Amino acid sequence: MEINNNFKEASVVIPVYNGAETIEQLCTRLGDVLPTLFSKFEIILVEDYSKDSSWSVITQLCKTHPYIHG
């Protein structure tokens, strides 16, 4: 079955708490899958007062991937 993704859009909102070690891998995997399902998509990372370097990782991801927002 062929998927017609011409008009599908998605926003994926992810709360991040102490996710510095895992958030990049998650975004990479989503970045591989989402274009196969949607014509337009975004990933929104919401940092929740993490005690690690989550915000630094998020800001770097935003710089290198236009579909990621922090």
Alpha helix ranges (H) inside the chain: 23-37, 54-64
The pLDDT tens digits of the residues spanning 13-62 come to 999 999 999 999 999 999 999 999 999 999 999 999 999 999 999 999 99
Decide: helix, strand or coil at residue 44: strand
pTM, two decimal places: 0.86
Helix 23-37, helix 54-64: angle, nearest 10? 40
